[in-house]
Chains A and B, each alone.
Chain A
Amino acid sequence: MQSYGYKEGLLDGLPIGLGYLSVSFGFAIWAINQGLPGFILVLMSGSNLTSAGQVAGVTVMAAGGLFMELALTEAIINLRYALMSVTLTQKLSPTFSLWQRMLAAFFVTDEIFAVSSTRKGLLTFPYMMGLGCLPWIGWTLGTALGAFAGSLLPAAVCAALGIAIYGMFTSLIVPAAMEEKGVLLAVAAAIGLGLILRYVPVFSFLSEGFVIIISAVGGACVAAWLIPAPKEAQA
């Protein structure tokens, strides 16, 4: 069986890194507008390396949410990484030691998972390190540029860039929703529940973090109950 090394990983990671650079630039500009300091955002990107989790985290932090609320929000939103990690265990080269697994786990993101899990053959530790390198640099550097140099841009450009992160989310949702009715239903149900929880006054005691958790789990459950996911997707 074929395996790949650090250099192949680095090359595979280049387009991901470039994509992350511009998206995290938009993320930082958005997050600065929510009132968080720039160095906190850079630390966040460097230590979290995740888009949806950081947007939710900034939302909870800006609202002065509870620690428990933040932990629960991150756990729910990032649950997909647990599935990806489980999937990756089936492809790891036997030479992977425990500490290497623990290190490689830090770099599990949607895009890195997509690239590594579709690579033919077994995944080696050097390949995974190479693959994670440029996306991490791109994500952290883009955040720093957005946070500290974003103010050099005209206000209208900064305002427009605030939508970039939602554009990225949209690009993840729409193709999947076109292919699977279940995904479409899950998204629609989650949005519907979220609108009720956000705008019906009875629920106004719920903070944004809890709204995300309840509406997402509710929407996913409704879809799972009515339209079980296709067998090949249940991995």
Chain B
Amino acid sequence: MRLYLYLLIMAGVTYLIRMLPLAFFRKKIESPFVLSVLHYLPYAVLGTMTVPAVFTSAGSVLSSVVGFAVALVLGLRKRSLIEVALFAAAGAYVTSLILPLF
């Protein structure tokens, strides 16, 4: 039951945030500070969710570090979302195969 309430809250909040501005917004936000905060916020959220969680995301810390390094390098080369995601996983997977050999 609790899980369904969680779902309802998540879906409700997420939808309202998308819908209210699209359906009803009529004017512009003027404050440069507020606009800057809103511009930076998504990246700040992604950053704090990625580090440190990414380091335990692929089983062992070492394979996670390798996977993350692959993601960073491909990100620097501006590769597509899907390439970065899959090659990060591939890097982690290969590392987990090689690791026991040492």
Q: Which residue numbers of A lie inside 8 Å of B, CB to CB?
A: 18-19, 22-23, 26, 30, 36-37, 40, 43-44, 47-50, 52-57, 60-61, 67, 70-71, 74-86, 88-89, 98, 101-102, 104-106, 108, 110-111, 156-157, 159-178, 182-183, 186-191, 193-195, 198, 211-212, 215-217, 219-221, 223-225, 227-229, 233-235
Nearest chain B residue, comparing its CB with the CB of A84: B18
**Chain A residues with Cβ under 8 A from B70's Cβ?**
167
A74-B10, A76-B45, A220-B40 are contacts. A166–B32 as well, Cβ < 8 Å? Answer: no
Q: Which of A79, A183, A195, A219 contacts B38 (CB 8 A)?
A: A79
**Chain A residues with Cβ under 8 A from B92's Cβ?**
159-160, 163
In the bound complex, do residue B52 and residue A219 qualify as a contact, i.e. CB atoms below 8 Å apart?
no
**Chain B residues with Cβ under 8 A from A189's Cβ?**
44
In the bound complex, do residue A160 and residue B96 qualify as a contact, i.e. CB atoms below 8 Å apart?
yes
CA of A30 to CA of B38, assembled, Å: 29
**Chain A residues with Cβ under 8 A from B25's Cβ?**
85-86, 89
CA of A70 to CA of B79, assembled, Å: 32
Nearest chain B residue, comparing its CB with the CB of A177: B43
Listed A/B pairs (6) with beta-carbon separation below 8 Å: A30-B57, A88-B22, A161-B89, A170-B72, A173-B43, A229-B40
A30-B57, A161-B89, A233-B39 are contacts. A75–B47 as well, Cβ < 8 Å? Answer: no
CA of A34 to CA of B18, assembled, Å: 27
In the bound complex, do residue A234 and residue B14 qualify as a contact, i.e. CB atoms below 8 Å apart?
no
Q: Which of A86, A162, A190 contacts B59 (CB 8 A)?
A: A162
Q: Which of A19, A110, A225 contacts B82 (CB 8 A)?
A: A19
Nearest chain B residue, comparing its CB with the CB of A101: B23
In the bound complex, do residue B59 and residue A156 qualify as a contact, i.e. CB atoms below 8 Å apart?
yes
CA of A137 to CA of B49, assembled, Å: 26
Q: Which of B10, B44, B58 contacts A57 (CB 8 A)?
A: B10
